[in-house]
Structure 1
Amino acid sequence: MSAPTPPKISGAGMLYVVSRIASKDMSEETYLKWYEEDHIAEIMQTSGIKSAVRFKNTNLDADKPYMVMYPMEDLGFTQGEEFKKIKVHSNILPGGGPIYDLADIDVRYYSLTQTYDPKGPTKPGKVKLINTAGLSPNETISDNEFDNWYRQEHLDELAKVPGYLRSTRYNLQYYRTNAQSRALKGLPARAEDIAIKTPPRFFAVHEFDTDDIDIKALMATVETDWSKRIMGNLAEPFEGNFWALKGSFGDKTFFQEAR
Structure 2
Amino acid sequence: MPSPFLLFVNSKPTAVSDEVWKKWYTTEHIPDIVSSRTSTRACLFEEDYTSPISPKEKHERRYLALYQTDFEEALQSSNYQKCATTSEMLAKNGGSKEVFGNGEFDSRYYGLVQTYDPNKLGEAVPPPYILTVEMSPFDEEDFNSWYKEEHLDLLAKVPGYRRTLRFKHTVPNEKMNLTTPPSYLAIHELDSTEHLGGKEIKASMATDWSKKIMEDSTVFVGRVWKLIGSQGAVRRMSLSEGKFLD
TM-score scaled by length of structure 1: 0.78
Alignment of 1:16-95 (within 5 A): 16-23=8-15, 26-59=16-49, 61-94=58-91, 95=95
> Which of 185, 189, 198 is the matching residue for 1:203?
185
Describe the SS at the equivalent of 2:44.
strand
Could you report, residue by residue, the CA deviation over 1:128-158 in whole angstroms, capped at 9, with x for unpaired residues?
Answer: 21111000013xxx21111101000000010
Tell me if 1:169 matches 2:152. Answer: no
Write the deviation string for residues 17-43 of structure 1: whole angstroms up to 9, x where unpaired.
1101123xx111221221122111211
Counterpart amino acid of residue 71 in structure 1: Q
Can you list the C-alpha shifts for 1:84-126, whole angstroms capped at 9, x where unaligned? 3422211111354322222101111110011001122345126
Q: Percent identity?
A: 32
* Aligned mates of 1:56, 1:247 — CA distance in 2: 10
204-213 vs 118-127, which deviates more? 118-127
Q: Does the residue aligned with 1:252 lie in a helix, a strand or coil? A: coil
Partner Cα separation in structure 1 for residue 37 and residue 158 of structure 2: 37
Could you tell me how far apart the structure 1 residues matched to 2:34 and 2:80 are?
Answer: 11
Tell me the equivalent position of 2:201: 218
Question: Alpha-carbon deviation of 1:219?
Answer: 2.7
CA contact (8 A) 1:211 1:244 kept: no
Query: 2:30 touches 2:43 (CA, 8 Å); kept in 1?
Result: no
Distance in 1 (CA, whole Å) between partners of 2:224 and 2:126 is: 16
Counterpart of 1:36 in structure 2: which amino acid?
T
Which amino acid is the alignment partner of residue 165 of structure 1? R
Helix, strand or coil: the match of 1:92? helix
SS at match of 2:88: coil
Alpha-carbon separation, structure 2, partners of 1:171 and 1:18: 17
SS in structure 1 opposite 2:119? Answer: coil
Task: Decide whether aligned partners of structure 1 residues 29 and 197 sit closer, same or farther in structure 2, where only a CA change above 3 A counts.
Answer: closer
Given the two structures, how large is their TM-score scaled by the length of structure 2? 0.82
1:230 pairs with 2:230: no
Q: CA RMSD in A?
A: 2.2
Unaligned runs of 5+ in 2: 50-56, 236-246
Q: Distance in 1 between matches of 2:173 and 2:47?
A: 20
Q: Are the structure 2 counterparts of residues 213 and 98 from structure 1 closer, same or farther at C-alpha, using a change threshold of 3 Å?
A: farther
Matched residue SS, 1:19: strand
The equivalent residue for 2:148 is 151
SS of structure 1 residue aligned to 2:61: coil
Residue-by-residue CA offset, 1:156-192 (whole Å, 9 max, x unaligned):
0101111111101000013557xx35xxxxxxxxxxx
In structure 1, C-alpha distance between the alignment counterparts of 2:109 and 2:44, rounded to whole Å: 16
The 8 Å contact of residues 109 and 172 in structure 1, kept in 2 or not, is answered as yes
Contact 1:53 1:70 in 2 (8 A): yes
Q: How many residues align?
A: 222
Aligned to 1:189: none
Q: Which amino acid aligns with 2:207?
A: T
In structure 1, stretches of 5+ residues that fail to align are 1-10, 182-194, 254-259
Label 1:198 to 1:154 Cα distance change in 2 as closer, same or farther (>3 A): same
